[in-house]
Amino acid sequence: LTGVSREQRAFQYLLAHAIPGDPRHVLQTFDQWCYRREHLSSVGPVKGERDPGRRIVERLLYERAPLRVLELGTYCGYGTVLLAQGLPAGARLYTVEADPRHAAVAEKVIRLAGFEEQTVELIVGPSEEVIPRLREQHGLPKADFVFMDHRKRCYLRDLQLLESHRLLAKGATVLADNVLFPGAPRFLQYAKTCGKYRCKVHRASLEY
């Protein structure tokens, strides 16, 4: 009725309550909004970082220490901030969002958390169009770590695009969210049977 989207309302809440330049506090404030006000389809604290039993994203980043990270599906920037805060020194994160309205919110969230464009580059456009030009236009030679959190029906197509354009570094980690529900069965089948990957399913609850 107001013409202000849920995503914009969430950012206004962040502006009023989050500590600028403090990524963890930005994420905590985001969580407060989603628990108490309106649900947003972000990674959330259980799969993300603060639940001691299920620090999936944070733990994998620590173990792999990737220098080049690709995120497909920025949405409001929650996952982007989560990834960026776990990067080693000198690393760079490329995040891709198809919806310009979501990208506009995410850009503000990322900068509010204190990450400059030298560390986090937000690319607006459909993933199937962005992936083929990542090397030439955005300077991504190969990704050490890929986080998929966009449309589940795009997971398999985009993984195969990354393969065909040789954008996966040797030993790269591909982390895909929500593959069981709402589900990405063709992606899972391919990952398990193509012979290119060691596949592990991390079980977690839905966010919030």
Residue of 47, 107, 144, 178 marked active site = 178
The Cβ of residue 13 has, within 10 Å, a number of other Cβ atoms equal to 18
Residue of 49, 58, 158, 207 marked active site = 207
Residue of 152, 158, 192, 196 marked active site = 152
Residue 123, SS3 per DSSP = strand
Is 152 designated active site? yes
Q: Which phi and psi angles does 113 have, rounded to 5°? A: -75, -10
Is 178 designated active site? yes
Residue with tokens 């354009």, as numbered in its chain: 165
Residue of 158, 177, 192, 200 marked active site = 177
Residue 114 near residue 84, CB atoms below 8 Å = no
Which residues are CB-contacts of 186 (< 8 A; sequence separation ≥ 6)?
155, 156
Residue of 149, 163, 170, 196 marked active site = 149
Nearest to 81, CA basis, from 51, 57, 115: 115
The Cβ of residue 84 has, within 10 Å, a number of other Cβ atoms equal to 23
Active site residues: 149, 152, 177-178, 207
